[in-house]
Amino acid sequence: MGPFPKYLRLKPIIISTFVLWGIAAIFSAPWWLYAFVLWLGLTITYFGTTQISSNFHLPAHCKAVHSDKKEIAITFDDGVLNPTQSKLVLDILKQYEVPATFFCIGKNLASKEQIEVLKQMDAEGHIIGNHSFSHANFFDFFSSQRVVQEILDTDKVIQQHLNKQPLFFRPPYGITTPNIAKAMRQVEHQTIGWSLRSLDTVIKDEKMLLKRVQKKLKKGAVILFHDHLEFLPRFLPLFLEYLLKEGYTVVGLDQLLQLQAYKH
């Protein structure tokens, strides 16, 4: 989905809402017209905030710029929440010689086992991205300075263990806000979204999940999975076999988006 036009931004929507209310008041409009204007503004804002691909608050990279090739990128969120499951996922990716991007949460890079898995991800050629430090439930209510600190704290942990500073940031839940947009203007990172949300946290059956992904898969897609899920190692081989059968190639996220993954 393309970006919202510049006039479909938060401040213009608020201003437009009051202007329309003023016009309605001058002409003694019925109450439901006020309600409709308010509903329309809230709906647009809600959609733009919860759909990262809308580029409503900030530009986000969600799919290949040029999608004429049957290439896709696989991404995993919430690393390294469950090191045991992550290792199983890594084994499958290695077996199929498939690269992926793991968006890691800073607080999940604390134990010796979590650090070992992080290093394994890097050693096997996968990209490590920043997924905030806390992944707090109310991350979208954080101030811009707190968002900046979350990003920098996670960068610090990753750099400490890999000697690499990630440039890819995926906001928790894919939520964007004016404060997150302001924070992103203060750091060097690129905001990364997705074009295909697998819903693997909701659909826990591998065959049903495969049907959903097959139906929505397109050239140039960036696919969102979660490597900590128990059933995912049963799903991944089915999915990767399907890609081979259909002639898709899995490439690194940096290659697909034509962006630099780390600061040099």
Alpha-carbon distance of 258 to 254, in angstroms, equals 5
Q: Which of 21-25, 174-178, 251-255 has the highest mean pLDDT?
A: 251-255
Alpha-carbon distance of 123 to 126, in angstroms, equals 7
State residue 42's pLDDT score: 65
Phi, psi angles (nearest 5°) of residue 61: -90, 115
Phi, psi angles (nearest 5°) of residue 142: -70, 150
Average pLDDT over residues 207-211: 97
Taking alpha carbons only, the member of 134, 152, 137, 143 closest to residue 178 is: 143
Residues 261, 65, 69, CA angle at the centre, nearest 5°? 100
Q: CA-CA distances (angstroms) from residue 15 to 11, 40, 55, 211?
A: 6, 13, 20, 44
Domain 71-263 has CATH 3.20.20.370: yes
| Cis geometry, peptide bond prior to residue 37 (ω within 30 degrees of 0) | no
**What are the boundaries of each domain within the chain?**
10-50, 71-263
SS3 78: strand
Q: Residue 125 CB: number of other CB atoms within 10 A? A: 13
| pLDDT tens digit sequence for 183-192 | 999 999 999 9
Of residues 211 and 19, more confidence is placed in: 211
Of residues 1 and 28, more confidence is placed in: 28
